[in-house]
Amino acid sequence: MKTETMTLNMGPQHPSTHGVLRLVMELDGENIVNCTPHIGYLHTGIEKSMENRTYHQVIPLTDRMDYLSPITNNLAYVLAVEKLLGLEDVPERAQYIRVILAELSRIASHLVALGTHVMELGAVTVFMYGFREREQILDLFETATGVRMMTSFIRIGGVAADLPAEFVEKLQDFLKIFPSRVDEYETLLTNNPIWLRRTRGVGLLPKEVALAYGLSGPNARASGIDWDLRKKEPYCGYEKFDFQVPLGEEGDVYARYRVRMAEMRQSHRILTQALENLPPGPYRSSDRKVVFPPKDELHTGMEALIHHFKLATEGFSPPTGEVYQGIEGPRGEIGFYLVSDGGAKPWRVRVRPPSFLNVQAIPAILNGCLIADAIAAIGSLDFVLGEVDR
């Protein structure tokens, strides 16, 4: 008997493709023979736009790539510029504030990943619970930065402003309730037979394949790759914090779920330590060549006024050269490769987006699996199309 495969188009408007991803799947009955992701629907030319902005003006653009954790984008970019400048005088308080905000956005991002993933498999409750806690984190961001999502808060040489007093109180409240909330999610999912059947042994990603595709973050760690930039190449003083890197073995959807849950608990640990040891002091560097002088100095000092005008109109010119700086984002290693020609604007900015590499691995995961499992596998990879297409 002669049989034919069927081509099925999924997306770009499919609700479970996390944005506008289009998958063209070749089906043999219910099995996926071949799968090709098509990307580019959200391309906004962010990398090119960066070439026409001063180093300072690029920061708001980075927010808009991975819109579920803008702080880590800000941070990766700012660290790259600081490396290019050779700026080492970033105060300790600024480092701690950066760590606090980055870990909060990691939790917020994992909550979205968990909530949407579970909802696609039919459990709306966890989605609602997750977004309840995420709302609290966004509230914290609003208190500290003024907005919920497009924060643009991390600045070259420090952060934009000091943490307000009520932020610390709100964060303490959040830290008090959060572990019990993670327990709630686990009660609903971890041993739930329906959840286990939908996720165990599904979307297998062996260690070698994960390495070959250059995966990082929770996806790689769920396959047993012990790789976390916070431990391997510490930045912002992560070496001072006591935390573990959760690892999985199986590399299936369930392992990725377990790793994310464990990471939220570890982030909670880091946050507790950071809040306890939050040092006093300035929140930004005193290097007047790259950091705005304090406002009150403008009314008394001519030099401060000149620096202020120069920074606002021209920005600063780092030395000629190329740098790469990657950090551990919620989705994996997010890095910026900057090329400077000595001018006030970057000559080229290249982003290493973790989501793009996660999308790359889709065919490797889906080939051979059932069409019904495709949703579970895609959701577990946790990518943001805004970052894939930029």
Under the binding rule (CB under 8 A), the answer on residue 298 touching other proteins is yes
Q: Which of 5, 125, 317, 367 binds other proteins (CB under 8 A)?
A: 125
164 scored as a contact of other proteins (CB under 8 A): yes
The residues that bridge with 358 in the sheet, in sequence order, are none
Longest dimension (CA), the chain: 90
- Cα dihedral angle (250, 252, 256, 258), rounded to 10 degrees? -60
Q: Are 9 and 35 in contact (CB under 8 A)?
A: no
Segment 53-82, which members bind other proteins (CB under 8 A)?
53, 56-61
* Minimum separation from the CB atom of position 127 to other proteins (A): 13
Residues 267 and 245 sit within 8 Å (Cβ to Cβ): no
Binding status of residue 8 toward other proteins by CB under 8 A: no
Tokens describing residue 11: 């997306």
Tokens of 336: 């910026």
273 in contact with other proteins (CB under 8 A): no
Residue 283 tokens read as 């929140």
Four-residue CA torsion sign, 374, 186, 232, 248 = negative
306 part of the interface to other proteins, by CB under 8 A: no
- Tell me the C-alpha distance between 116 and 121, whole Å: 9
Which of 2, 280, 296, 319 forms a contact with other proteins (CB under 8 A)?
296
Residue 177 in contact with other proteins, rule: CB under 8 A: no
Q: Quick check: 299 binds other proteins (CB under 8 A)?
A: yes
# of chain residues touching other proteins (CB under 8 A): 39
What's the CA gap between 225 and 85, in Å, rounded?
Answer: 33
Q: How far is the CB of 129 from other proteins (least distance, A)?
A: 9
192 counts as binding other proteins under rule CB under 8 A: yes
Interacting residues with other proteins between 201 and 260 (CB under 8 A)? none
Q: Which residues make up the interface to other proteins (CB under 8 A)? A: 53, 56-61, 125, 132, 135, 142-147, 150, 152, 160-161, 164, 166, 184, 187-188, 191-194, 292, 295-296, 298-299, 305, 308-309, 312-313
